[in-house]
């Protein structure tokens, strides 16, 4: 069920091969996505209607739901469901609001003052995945920091259901976030629509949101071919669990399956200090998997997941940093001994009582995180993702006299005499 490797017996090449995921070696996904992007760029709304029929098997009358329609859809929720979404909303808002800080001005030398100020990105696009699971939690994770940042226009795209509508949970989140409309567009075509704009969808400055390999590929192509930025290449979800003898195999199995049920291309990795613990976890997987409503999906994800047996927690951390997981769970009572060794991870869950699910939904941290080893270079979404930080500087007469001679020398060194003169005309007065 879970293929097992012994870390000590693996060569460097074998480890490198093991940590690779979602590789499009033959460029098959790229080819499909490039065609979709080109079609949307050329045909606009017409392409989106066609793709809805082709990919979502639904014939749409229009490409969006307005505020009144969203309000009507949201009435289907039970009171306890609304309460759960409101608790998540409050916790996520509280955590992200703390990230919005005014920075101090710094006098780098007498008369020379420098500082940074935040400005929101004006138009942002939020992609809320649909597919095999509808994710109102992702809507909260993206919409809340966008609101806190003060973005002027928030464009939301999510795939339509078979009835041509969206889920009541997403509709209620739209109310919580005061979003005026949701565009009924999914997949790579949604990314293209937000990047180029269509008759119904506004062109945005930056696109946010996770998705499958087609969505991720569309985001990376858009970033390299347009002036539209992206949050990160957030693709199929993944978790890596580091566990020792203090861990509970039932908890480990539950955490692995929680990630596996996202989709067949998700990955769940166990790195354990004991082969016995791996065997016990596999036994728990066999017990827990069959009763899951999404057992078929989770089983396929487990097929290309694996376990690695290591000699110590330090060795486990070496492998984890190489893998650079989206989610890292330290299933050990000794987690404080190794947190300082974490170099590459999207979000970390500490101890046996901290399931990854709490971060997915309601603890407050953001669940839009880098996957496929992009945690080596990217952070998860935050308020910072929705703002630009502009630098300012102000010089007094004393300041230009103090710093001017040094700038003149540096300009001479680079042979940029106009740069020198811009200082000289001030210092020689």
Residue of 96, 262, 327, 367 with catalytic role? 327
Give the chain's radius of gyration (CA, Å).
25
Q: Where are the alpha helices (H) located in 213-349, listed in sequence order?
A: 213-225, 249-260, 275-288, 295-303, 313-323
Q: Give the list of residues 6+ apart from residue 236 with CB closer than 8 angstroms, or none.
A: 21, 22, 212, 213, 216, 262, 263, 265, 266, 267, 371, 372
Return the half-sphere exposure (C-beta side, CA atoms, 13 A cut-off) of residue 377. 7
Active site annotation includes 238: no
Query: Do you know the residue count of the chain?
Result: 429
Let me know if 95 is exposed, middle or buried by CB neighbors in 10 A (0-12, 13-18, 19+): middle
316-330 CB burial, b ≥16 within 10 A, e <16: bbbbbbbbbbbbbbb
Q: CA torsion 407→411→413→414, rounded to 10°? A: 140
Residue of 326, 356, 367, 408 with catalytic role? 326
Strands 3-6 and 327-331: unpaired
- Separation of alpha carbons 373 and 346, rounded Å: 9
CA distances from residue 15 to 8, 20, 278, 289 in whole angstroms, order as listed: 10, 9, 19, 28
Q: Give the list of residues 6+ apart from residue 301 with CB closer than 8 angstroms, or none.
A: 259, 260, 261, 262, 263, 264, 265, 266, 267, 268
Residue 228: in which H helix or E strand, if any?
A: none
Residue 148: in which H helix or E strand, if any?
A: helix 136-149
What residues pair up with 350 in beta bridges, in sequence order? 330
Cβ-contact 194, 170 below 8 angstroms: no
Active site annotation includes 326: yes
Q: In this structure, how many other beta carbons lie within 10 angstroms of the beta carbon of residue 94?
A: 11
**Which residues are catalytic, by number?**
326-327
């Amino acid at each position: 069920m879970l293929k097992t490797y012994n870390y000590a017996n693996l060569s460097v090449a074998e480890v490198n091969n093991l940590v690779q995921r979602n590789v499009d070696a033959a460029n098959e996904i790229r080819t499909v996505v490039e065609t979709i992007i080109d079609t949307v760029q050329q045909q606009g709304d017409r392409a989106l209607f066609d793709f809805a029929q082709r990919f979502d098997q639904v014939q749409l009358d229009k490409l969006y739901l307005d505020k009144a329609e969203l309000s009507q859809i949201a009435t289907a929720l039970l009171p306890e469901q609304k309460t759960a979404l409101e608790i998540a909303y409050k916790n996520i808002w509280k955590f992200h609001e703390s990230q919005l800080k005014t920075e101090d001005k710094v006098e780098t030398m007498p008369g020379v003052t420098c500082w940074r100020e935040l400005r929101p990105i004006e138009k942002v696009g939020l992609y809320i995945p649909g597919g095999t699971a509808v994710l109102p939690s992702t809507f909260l994770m993206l919409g809340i920091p966008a609101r806190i940042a003060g973005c002027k226009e928030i464009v939301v795209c999510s795939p339509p259901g078979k009835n041509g509508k969206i889920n009541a949970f997403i509709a209620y989140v739209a109310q919580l976030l005061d979003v005026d409309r949701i565009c009924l567009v999914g997949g790579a075509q949604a990314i293209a629509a937000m990047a180029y704009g269509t008759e119904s969808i506004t062109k945005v400055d930056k696109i946010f949101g996770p998705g499958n390999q087609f969505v991720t590929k569309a985001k990376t192509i858009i970033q390299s071919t347009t002036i539209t930025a992206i949050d990160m290449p957030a693709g199929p979800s993944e978790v890596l669990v580091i566990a020792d003898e203090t861990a509970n195999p039932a908890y480990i199995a539950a955490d692995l399956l929680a990630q596996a049920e996202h989709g067949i291309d998700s990955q769940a990795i166990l790195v354990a200090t004991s082969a016995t613990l791996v065997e016990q976890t596999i036994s728990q997987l066999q017990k827990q998997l069959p009763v899951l409503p999404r057992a078929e999906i989770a089983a396929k994800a487990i097929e290309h997941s694996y376990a690695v047996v290591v000699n110590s927690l330090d060795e486990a951390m070496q492998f984890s940093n190489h893998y650079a997981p989206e989610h890292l769970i330290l299933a050990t009572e000794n987690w404080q001994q190794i947190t300082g060794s974490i170099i590459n991870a999207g979000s970390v869950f500490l101890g046996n009582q901290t399931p990854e699910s709490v971060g997915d939904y309601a603890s407050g941290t953001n669940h839009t995180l880098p996957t496929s080893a992009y945690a080596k270079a990217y952070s998860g979404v935050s308020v910072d993702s929705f703002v630009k930080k502009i630098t300012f500087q102000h010089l007094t007469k004393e300041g230009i006299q103090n710093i001017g001679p040094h700038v003149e020398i540096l300009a001479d060194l680079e042979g940029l005499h106009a740069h020198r003169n811009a200082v000289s005309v001030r210092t020689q007065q």
